[in-house]
Amino acid sequence: MAGGCVAIVIRTISVSPISSQSPNGILFRVALTIAVLALIGWSAWRSIPVRQIHFSPDQFAINRKLAGEAKFLSPPAAISPGYSIGKQGVRLSRGESISYDVSRSERYFRGVFQAADKTGGKTQVSVVRHGQSTILFERSLAPSRQDIDAAPYGFIINLATLAPDTERLLLTTDNGVIDWRECGFVDEQMFAGFSNVPLQFLVADGYSAPAWTNKILLLQSPVRLDFIVPSGHHRLLFQYGFNPSLFNEAHAFSDGIGFKAELITTTGTTHELLNRLLEPYSHSADRELQTASLDLNLSEPGKLRLSATPGPVNNVAWDWSVCKDFQLETISP
């Protein structure tokens, strides 16, 4: 297409009846060249393969509201009837869901959910294969019982870990009333730091999305991350604890952070590998980074769940934590 447009420009200019030496001739040729170059650019842009969902005029208006008001990153394939759109996102109640066709052009899917009232509710994020749905993770929010559940929660899914024949992602309000926003696909540069962990990252959810500074994983409790553990006998080594920069803040104070590591088998059996509460303002030794050595012994692939939780009184203020220097060693049989 672009080559044809160039040929048209050359032929048109060469047969133009206007003298190329006259001012009008020069202006004509310049205008014509600009117009055809614009056509070439438009044609090239149209030829770039992009992930695009086509909507009817009514659907387009809806998705424009999703992008503007609910701040969705990508338009969903479908939303259950009865939803509403507001400043806090797309409001869904019991059993309603948002469906996304899985794209292979982006690496991650992310989103945010929040209880719409004090009653709270339960959320589920599932994958659909061959018409059957499997829950990736779920979280129950109860703001009436604990204040932290009134805050927004974010989640990240590594699409590369899903089965190749995965059809859809379902974001479901299992009960209660939940607002969903900032949902959609993002490229791998957004969370490139996960490549620093020798286990493949699967999914995370928590008070805020995990972040990276060079090779240091930054976490704000409460947060949990799941990684895929290969079969066999391995040892995972890493350092964890409070972010050292916290202690440079004159007014900082944390009542503690709980660090937990659990090995989860395919049958759902959970083995606790680490459970430690660090209280740096009560115990000076807890200001130092701790070393974890986790024994991962599985006959078939499973999951490792790393969690950072608020201290004894469930206060998340200044709960800055880090994990770093991940190493995976294979233990010979």
Break the chain into its structural domains and give their ranges: 2-47, 59-185, 187-333
Q: List helix spans (H) across the chain.
A: 2-14, 23-47, 57-68
Question: In angstroms, rounded to a whole number, what is the distance separating the alpha carbons of residues 54 and 265?
Answer: 41
- Does the pTM of the predicted model rise above 0.85? no
Question: In angstroms, rounded to a whole number, what is the distance separating the alpha carbons of residues 19 and 123?
Answer: 72
3-class SS at 72? coil
pLDDT of residue 24: 61
Contact 327, 272 (CB under 8 A): no
CATH architecture assigned to 59-185:
Sandwich (2.60)
Question: In angstroms, rounded to a whole number, what is the distance separating the alpha carbons of residues 296 and 258?
Answer: 21
Residue 76 identity: P
pLDDT of residue 137: 92
pLDDT of residue 23: 60
Contact 331, 234 (CB under 8 A): yes
pLDDT of residue 103: 75
Listing DSSP states for 198-222 in one string gives SSEEEEEEESS--EEETTEEEEESS
What fold does the segment set 187-333 form as a domain?
A: Jelly Rolls (2.60.120)
Tokens 């995965």 label which residue? 166
Q: What is the mean pLDDT of each run of 10 residues along the chain (333 residues)?
A: 43 43 62 61 40 59 87 91 90 94 87 95 96 94 92 94 94 96 91 93 91 91 95 97 92 94 93 96 95 96 95 89 96 83
Instruction: Please check whether the two domains, 59-185 and 187-333, share a CATH topology.
Output: yes
Contact 262, 270 (CB under 8 A): yes
pLDDT of residue 21: 55
pLDDT of residue 141: 95
- Choose among 180, 181, 175: nearest CA to 119: 175
Q: How far is CA 142 from CA 37, 186, 326, in A?
A: 59, 29, 34
3-class SS at 156? strand
